[in-house]
Structure 1
Amino acid sequence: MNPLLPGGAGATSDGTFGGVVSYGNRVRDMHPLNVAVVLACISLLALVTPRPVGLVAGCVAFLGLAVAAGVGVPFARLYAKLLLGVGLVLFVLRAAFADGNQVLFEWGPLAPTREGVRDGTDFALTVMVLCGALTLYFALVPMKTLMLALELRGMPPQATYILLASFQAISDLSRSARVVMDAQRSRGIETEGNLWVRAKAFLPVLAPVFITALNQTEERAVALDARAFNSGIPHTHLLQLRPTPTWERAATTLVAAGCLATIGVRLLWT
């Protein structure tokens, strides 16, 4: 039995407690590697298509796929935060400091130019396309499902476990920090206020959080040893990926072929 993945009796629609991973949605039920191919092709097409039209089309395509997969609202919210927190900042920095001849206006040491605005728009949209592909991928494919797919394709179980445990450690540390902060708050310790107050409340949290993380690491090591993880015997899995249907293989092949053909045409014309 593979300790990578949770399991138990009785399969659910998303495979949380064992069985075949299925969400009842054709997009979300695609094989994790096929999803990666489709999103990579959309990103490449957006990057090689004349800008900024291709980049905008790529962002819109990600939103369309998210809606088709049933995760449109959460993905749109997260994508909007990335646009405001990353894309807008990159646009302002490039537009304000990039060299150009046509100055739009002057404000102190800043003199944005038309060329700088164009360069900032292209750069910010490029980053948003790449961020959109990664964000949408992990919104569609849980990490445990991706690791299962990679292990079934030949990746060593030790490598998939390390990757999954690394990503899981981030959420575990965050969860432990919230629990300790709530305990501190229940004891009357002030945890809200200005930056100095928050820092004083947060620093004492670090020790118990990291001690908890070390204890969890030891418990996982004992669990792996008890399940003969390194025995070399082929692993069984509580979760199973559904068989890839013909239409999915055909669609992925067409998308990949169209992407390669478009890139080839662009290279010939440049």
Structure 2
Amino acid sequence: MHPFTSLILWGWLALTALLLPLGYALLIYSASMFALLLILPDTRHRWRYVVWFMVPMGLGLWLAHWLNGTPLDQQRMPMAIALWLKLLAIVSSAQIWLQKVPTRQFVRALFASRLPISFAYVLAGPLLVVEQLRQQLHTIRDAQLARGIPLDGSWHQRLRAIPALLLPLTSNAINELAIRGAALDMKAFRVHAHRTTLWAPPDSRLQQASRYALLLLCLAQIGGYLWWLY
């Protein structure tokens, strides 16, 4: 599946979760998305990211509605539960998409698309430097450990040592801006309106038609929701 097709499919799933009211349908939908994350072998390990996000979110909603010193609002609490279930469905489906679509393939799809090259680079730029930042962070961590900074100590020692990691990483990223700008100038960036890439993801007319159909379905869902609401 083309990365854009899977992205729009995830957008449709997220929109469906947002428009569902609190009830059995939303409960089954959210549980199904999380269950699908657990069932698929290659996405099973990502359940931790969902739990790490949803548990603090649930605790925050609980603290906001039960420990605020005022009587419990019976009308706002269902809204908070619905919000939590919708976020569960959105985050679970997003983790599935992130696992199924490699970053390299998504970047190639951006550069091979009809998007302006400047806009495509703005979208792909953060994805291109993630691996470089990870390698730099690993190098900085080894260097700071050699200097005796307790990055492998207790949690409060690691917390105090965070600036020792972030400051060199930020400085290196700022220093590389001029190098990246010069590299773009050497490649005649923005001279041509469209570019292509080697090994572009295959895209069929059926997938293009399915993307437009999903976009129309999203618009129809939003229109039907607004019509029902007002």
TM over 0.5: yes
Q: Which structure would you say has the larger Rg?
A: 1
| Residue 47 of structure 2 corresponds to residue 73 of structure 1 | no
For residues 207 and 267 of structure 1, the distance between their equivalents in structure 2, rounded to whole angstroms, comes to 48
Residue of structure 1 equivalent to 2:140:
180
Are 1:47 and 1:55, in contact at CA under 8 Å, matched by a contact in 2?
Answer: no
For the 8 Å contact 1:43–1:58, the answer to whether it is kept is no
Query: Using a 3 Å threshold, how does the CA distance of structure 1 residues 53 and 263 change in structure 2: closer, same or farther?
Result: farther
Aligned-pair distance for 1:237?
A: 0.9
For 1:41, the equivalent position in structure 2 comes to 12
Equivalents in 2 of 1:268, 1:49: separation in Å? 14
Contact 2:37 2:96 in 1 (8 A): yes
| Aligned partner (choices 14, 19, 22) of residue 51 of structure 1 | 22
Aligned counterparts of 2:123 and 2:34: Cα–Cα separation in 1: 28
**Counterparts of 2:217 and 2:92, CA distance in 1:** 21
Query: How far, CA to CA, are the matches of 1:249 and 1:234 in structure 2?
Result: 19
What is the TM-score when the length of structure 2 is the normalising length?
0.74
Counterpart residue number, 2:120: 160
Counterparts in 2 of 1:1-270, with a 5 A limit? 30-63=1-34, 66=37, 70-86=41-57, 88-96=58-66, 109=69, 111-112=71-72, 114-169=74-129, 172-191=132-151, 192-193=153-154, 195=156, 197-198=157-158, 200-232=160-192, 234-244=194-204, 246=206, 248=207
120-129 vs 258-267, which moves further: 258-267
Tell me, yes or no, if the aligned pair for 2:150 and 2:161 is still in contact at 8 Å: yes
Greater shift, 72-81 or 203-212, is seen at 203-212
Structure with more relative contact order (C-alpha pairs < 8 Å, separation 6 or more): 2
Report deviation, 1:194.
5.1
1:49–1:55 contact (8 Å) kept in structure 2: yes
Superposed CA RMSD in Å reads 3.6
2-side partners of 1:140 and 1:117: how far apart? 35
Once residues 179 and 171 of structure 2 are traced to their aligned partners in structure 1, the CA distance between those partners, rounded to angstroms, is 12
Cα distance, 1:83 vs. partner? 1.6
- With normalisation by structure 1, the TM-score equals 0.65
Offset, 1:133: 4.2
Question: 1:124 Cα shift?
Answer: 1.5
Amino acid in the other structure paired with 1:158: S
CA spacing shift, 1:67–1:129, aligned 2, 3 Å: closer
Contact 1:46 1:129 in 2 (8 A): yes
Structure 2: distance between partners of 1:230 and 1:252: 28
Quote the Cα distance in structure 2 between the aligned partners of 1:200 and 1:259.
47
Cα distance in 2 for partners of 1:234, 1:48 equals: 37
Deviation at 1:268, TM superposition (A): 5.6
Change (3 A) 1:190 1:41: closer
Q: Distance in 2 between matches of 1:249 and 1:232?
A: 24
How far apart are 1:73 and its partner, in Å?
0.4
Task: Please list every run of 5 or more consecutive structure 1 residues that lacks an aligned counterpart in the other structure.
Answer: 1-29, 99-108
The percentage of counterpart residues that share the same residue type is 21
Look up the equivalent residue of 2:27 and give its one-letter code.
Answer: V
Unpaired runs of 5+ residues, structure 2, are none
Distance 2:216 2:165 in 1: 52
Q: Residue 211 of structure 1: SS of its match in structure 2?
A: helix
> Is the deviation greater in 259-268 or in 41-50?
259-268
